[in-house]
Amino acid sequence: MSSESIKQAVQQQFGSAANAYANSTVHQKGVDLTAMIEAAKPQAHWSVLDAGCGAGHTGLAFAAHVAQVVACDLTPSMLEQVQRLAAEKGITNVVTREADVEALPFDDASFDLVVSRYSAHHWPHPETAMREFARVLKPGGAFILSDIVASEYYAADTFLQTLELVRDPSHVRDYRVSEWMTFLHGAGFTAEVVTPFDVPLNFAAWLQRIATPPIHAQALRSLFTGAPAAIKQLYHLPDQIADDEFEFMIYGAVLRAVRGQ
C-alpha cells in the first residue's frame, strides 16, 4: 500500500470524525498532556508546531504558555475544529495550516518546539517525519511526543495492531518505544521516555468515535473474548462481553527528544 493511499485513507476516515474527536474526553485532557507541557518547559516567546494536530487540543493547551502555535494536519475538517475550539476559548495565538508531517512547508529552524499527540500511529514513514522535525526546529529545540505504544513482547504487539486496524483501517502502527528511539536517534535527536501512562478506553465510545462498522465491531468482540489469558491480563479484557459498556486498557508514552546544536 502506497504512502499516498494511506494518507488519503486518513483524510477520508477522519474527515467525517472531526467533530467526534473535538469532543473526545481522551483527546481533550489526560495525564500525558500535562506531562508534555511539563517536559517542554515552554517559554513565552516560543513558536510551537503542533504536528498532526487533529482537533487541536494539544496546540490549544500549549497556546497559553507561548507566543504562537501553528497547528498543522492533513485533514481540512480537523483544522476547522481547531479554529472553532480556539474561537470558543478566546485563544488568538493559534493558526492552522494544512500540511503533511513528512513534507512540512516551513523554513529550516522555524520553531522552538514541535509537539505531537495521538497522531503518529497514522504516519507511514515516521523516520521521515523525525527528519522534518529536526529540520524545522532551531538548534537545541525539542520534540515532545505522546502516543499509544506497542509492547516489546511480539504477541502483545501483534494483538494491539490487529485491534487498531480492525477498528480503523487508516491505522498504520502503534510503534514500540524501541522503534521510536531508533527513529529519533537516526534524525539526530537525543531522546528519553518522560513517562509511560495508561489509557483506559470505553469500548462503545472507542468504536463510536471512528464509526467502526458493525461487522468489524463483532470481530473485535470475538478477538477480545478469544484472546489468550496473558493478553487478557495485559489489556484488562473481559472474559465475557454482555454489552459494549466496558473498559479495557492500552498504553502510551510521552517522549522528549532534543535536536543537536
Q: What distance in Å separates the CA atoms of residue 110 and residue 118, rounded to the nearest whole number? A: 23
**pTM, two decimal places:** 0.88
Amino acid at 228: P
CA distance 261 to 251: 32
Q: Could you read off the pLDDT of 191-205 as tens digits, one per residue?
A: 999 999 999 999 999
- Average pLDDT for the chain: 91
> Is the confidence at residue 32, as pLDDT, over 70?
yes
Q: What confidence score (pLDDT) does residue 36 get? A: 96
Rounded CA-CA distance 189/192 in Å is 10
For residue range 103-139, list pLDDT tens digits in order: 999 999 999 999 999 999 999 999 999 999 999 999 9
How many CB atoms are located within 10 Å of the residue 34 CB? Answer: 13
Question: Of 230, 240, 245, 248, nearest to 158 (Cα)?
Answer: 230
Mind listing the pLDDT tens digit for each residue in 141-187? 999 999 999 999 999 999 999 999 999 998 999 999 999 999 999 99
pLDDT computed for residue 246 by the predictor: 97
Crossing angle of helices 154-167 and 214-226, in 10° steps, is 160
Write phi, then psi, for 51 (nearest 5 degrees): -90, 125
Band (22; pLDDT cuts 50, 70, 90): very low
Q: What's the pLDDT at 261?
A: 76
Q: Under a CB-based contact definition with an 8 Å cutoff, are residues 115 and 59 in contact?
A: yes
Q: What proportion of the chain, given as a percentage, has pLDDT over 70? A: 89
Helices assigned H by DSSP within 169-236:
177-186, 203-210, 214-226, 229-235
| List of domains in the chain | 3-150+170-199+250-259 (3.40.50.150)
State the Cα–Cα distance between residues 15 and 80, nearest whole angstrom.
Answer: 10
* Closest listed residue to residue 35, CA positions, set 208, 178, 246, 199: 199
Q: What span, in angstroms and rounded, lies between the C-alpha atoms of 117 and 61?
A: 12
pLDDT greater than 50 at residue 190:
yes
Between CA 50 and CA 53 the distance in angstroms is 5
73 pLDDT above the threshold of 70 = yes
**Model pLDDT, residue 4:** 64
pLDDT higher than 50, residue 20: no
pLDDT interval class at 62 (50, 70, 90): very high
Residue 45: Cβ within 10 Å count: 9
What does DSSP say about strands 137-148 and 247-259: parallel, antiparallel, or unpaired? antiparallel
34-57 average pLDDT score: 96
**pLDDT over 90 at 12, yes or no:** no
- Quick one: cell of 256? 522528549
Helix/strand/coil for 90: coil
Element (H, E) at 63: helix 57-63
d(CA 119, CA 247): 22
**Share of residues in the chain with pLDDT > 90 (%):** 85
The radius of gyration of the chain from alpha carbons, rounded to an integer in Å, stands at 18
- The pLDDT of residue 28 is 56
Residue 168: how many CB atoms within 10 A of its CB? Answer: 22
Least confident of 12-26, 55-69, 96-110: 12-26
